[in-house]
Structure 1
Amino acid sequence: MKVFGKCQNCKNEISVSVNYGTRLEIAMYEGETKSNYCKNCNKKNEFHINDLRAKESKFSLIISGLIFLIGTPLTIYLLFDYLIIPHNPYIALIIAGFIAVPMTIYGIIRKQDMIRVRAFNRAYK
């Protein structure tokens, strides 16, 4: 989850570092305002926590995509070279089961990030 605010001078998105998942937790532990410098116009901006927005992180998208792209061929390779006896009639079921593991991990990571973003953007202090 990436939390950002808009610069009051140039309207550029400024990333704000937060250690908590909701606005209420930020207000309780860090205060009601966050400040950061705009890299575009070099002005200091103070943001009230209700002015901050969240969006999905590219980092979690990249990590989950790598798990999917590396995990699927790896499981197929391991299945054919080490685990499956050739001419097994249940090969299709086993492959489908093992390919589902990276797909499930990918889905869980994406869903959790979307839930965190939705919860942050919905709840105001």
Structure 2
Amino acid sequence: MKLVTYCKSCKKDTRIKSNAATRPDLQMEKGDEFNVSCQNCEKVEKKHVNDVKAEPNNTIILIGVGIGIIATIILWSLFGAIGTVSVIIPLLFWYQQMDATKGFNSYMIRRR
């Protein structure tokens, strides 16, 4: 999952560098409000933790697809058609990303 916020100046999303899994984790790491430098226009804006949203990381999903394809080929040659069960691997990666994104976006911090 990647964390992004919207830049009011250039109207594009800016990525937040954090490994926080939940909004309270982000709040403990950065505080209620923190400065964000836009990657496109370099303008610094003050953002509240609730202004950050999570999006699924497609790179991790593609890695899952690659692992699934390799596992399917190996298991197909060893066990035959039962090896196609490894097609579930990319679905597990996708589900994990969607679940983490939903968990982050569904919880909001009370503004003071």
Whether TM exceeds 0.5 here: the answer is yes
After superposing on structure 2, the runs of 4+ consecutive aligned residues of structure 1 that deviate more than 6 Å are none
For residues 55 and 39 of structure 1, what CA distance do their matches in structure 2 show?
17
Identity %: 27
> Is it true that 1:122 corresponds to 2:101 in the alignment?
no
Letter in 1 for 2:91: G
How far the C-alpha of 1:98 sits from its partner, in A, is 2.2
Tell me, which stretches of 5 or more residues in structure 2 are unaligned? none
Q: Indicate the residue corresponding to 1:66 in structure 2.
A: 66
Aligned residues: 109
In the alignment, which of 105, 108, 119 is matched to residue 89 of structure 2? 105
> Which structure 1 segments of 5+ residues have no match?
80-93
* TM-score (norm. length: structure 2): 0.85
What is the aligned-residue RMSD (CA, Å)?
1.6
**What does residue 82 of structure 1 align with?**
none
TM-score of the superposed pair, with normalisation by structure 1: 0.77
Once the two structures are superposed, residues 43-79 of structure 1 have per-residue CA deviations (whole angstroms, 9 ceiling, x without a partner) of 11222110011111011111111112222122223x1
Structure with max Cα Rg: 1
**Is the 1:16–1:34 Cα contact (8 Å) retained in structure 2?**
no
